[in-house]
Amino acid sequence: MKKKVGFIGWRGMVGSVLMDRMKREKDFNNIDSIFFSTSQIGLKSPNFSSVNTLQDAYDIDILRSMDVIVSCQGGEYTSKVYYKLRDTAWNGYWIDAASTLRMINESVIVLDPINLHVINSALENNVKTFVGGNCTVSLMLMAIGGLFSHNLIKWILFSTYQAASGAGSKHIIELLQQMGYLYNSISIDLKNPISSSILDIERKISFSIKDNSFPKKNFLAPLAGNVLPWIDLESDNFQTKEEWKVQAEANKILNTNNIIPIDGTCVRVGTIRCHSQSFVIKLKKDISYDSIIHIIKNNNPWVRIIPNDYQSTINFLTPIAISGTLDIAVGRIRQLTHLGSEFLSVFTVGDQLLWGAAEPLRRVLKILINR
């Protein structure tokens, strides 16, 4: 009999990408899928569902009848439902995109090209809770997983360039509204740029960005024409929570015996989709450039090494080039010879909705279904 899999949050950013990937890979053929909603109960389900209407995502009795629950709804939903459901002695698999359960003892953070052995051993030990990692963490591990698996990393310093869609569907709409607002304030000048003074245009933009009616309800600040070097809540040690997650989650995913120190700054930028990251890596030993490329390239089939030249970089090492693909672009790879050849600089771009969110969930679901 096919396993009953309940989907919550399937129409959000992560959920829609998950649906898309599952349809493409024909994953729905192998499960009995039931769709839930927090806001659209009773409306029509997607046509590949075994139940015609959307079920109530807070109805514990219906949730209990699922073999597997996949939630892309967000942390608030997980906090409200997960423990209530487990308290009923429900023993099904819970798969989640939110951060809420990532660091609890009973969960495993899933990224099977990097930690299949950890997932398999968890399954042997009857673990039932599998959570996708933070997007930048998963993308970092997919990009430089080879350096981790060869035990070459002493520490990492990162800077991220995270897209608006990383914050959810409302935020991406707001970024586009901000772009439109700015364009409207200077559209007449742009029709005849030769007769307009560039400083006038710049001044109009700077004024309109500060208008009271400038749309910033979700980001609380302009993102178009700006960067926001703060993501998520404040944590300890002057870090943001997003920055705190990197070392904590990466070491949990890798199941390291000795913590690999990883720290840096997470920055929201006005791109639509894909997170980029810049790393300075202190290697444990001085190895040749060719060996470094070989190790990074051969870690997993999705790594694309981008040659360190101008044309390759601007054409292939960008969010525009990577958006909507499973490729992990890794470029600007160079040893920082002024600092010492064991210091390595790398720039990487990956789609935070695919490898950073939906794809590890899709793949762990498949592993569970095929057991």
The contact mask relative to ligand NAP for 331-360 (x = CB under 6 A, - = no) is ---------------------xx--xx---
Cα–Cα distance for residue pair 14/51, rounded to 1 Å: 22
Indicate the residue whose CB is closest to ligand NAP: 12
Give the pair of three-digit tokens for residue 218: 């979700």
- Side-chain-side CA neighbours of 119 within 13 Å: the count stands at 22
14 three-class SS = helix
Task: Determine if 14 is a binding residue for ligand NAP (CB under 6 A).
Answer: yes
Q: Which of residues 167-226 bind ligand NAP (CB under 6 A)?
A: 168-170
Helix residue ranges per DSSP H, the chain: 13-24, 60-64, 75-87, 112-124, 135-149, 169-191, 198-209, 241-254, 289-297, 310-316, 319-322, 359-369
CB atoms within 10 A of CB 212: 4
Task: Determine if 45 is a binding residue for ligand NAP (CB under 6 A).
Answer: no
Contact region with ligand NAP (CB under 6 A), list: 34-42, 208-216, 305-313, 337-345: 34-42
Q: Which of residues 82-111 bind ligand NAP (CB under 6 A)?
A: 97-98
171 a catalytic residue: no
275 a catalytic residue: yes
Query: Out of 72, 171, 266, 275, which one is annotated catalytic?
Result: 275
At 229, the amino acid letter reads P
Count of residues in the chain: 371
Closest contact distance (angstroms) between CB of 161 and ligand NAP is 14
The greatest distance separating any two alpha carbons of the chain, rounded to the nearest whole angstrom, comes to 73
Closest contact distance (angstroms) between CB of 190 and ligand NAP is 30
Contact pick of 24, 26, 39, 310 for ligand NAP (by CB under 6 A): 39
Residues 333 and 345 sit within 8 Å (Cβ to Cβ): yes
Q: Scanning the structure block, which residue is given the tokens 């307009």?
A: 196
**Residues contacting ligand NAP: total by CB under 6 A:** 26
Contact pick of 55, 107, 115, 165 for ligand NAP (by CB under 6 A): 165
Closest contact distance (angstroms) between CB of 132 and ligand NAP is 6
**213: CB partners within 8 A, 6+ apart:** none
Query: Out of 72, 117, 135, 171, which one is annotated catalytic?
Result: 135
**Site residues (CB under 6 A) for ligand NAP?**
9, 11-15, 37-40, 72-75, 97-98, 135, 165-166, 168-170, 352-353, 356-357
Would you please indicate which residues are annotated as catalytic (active-site) residues? 135, 275
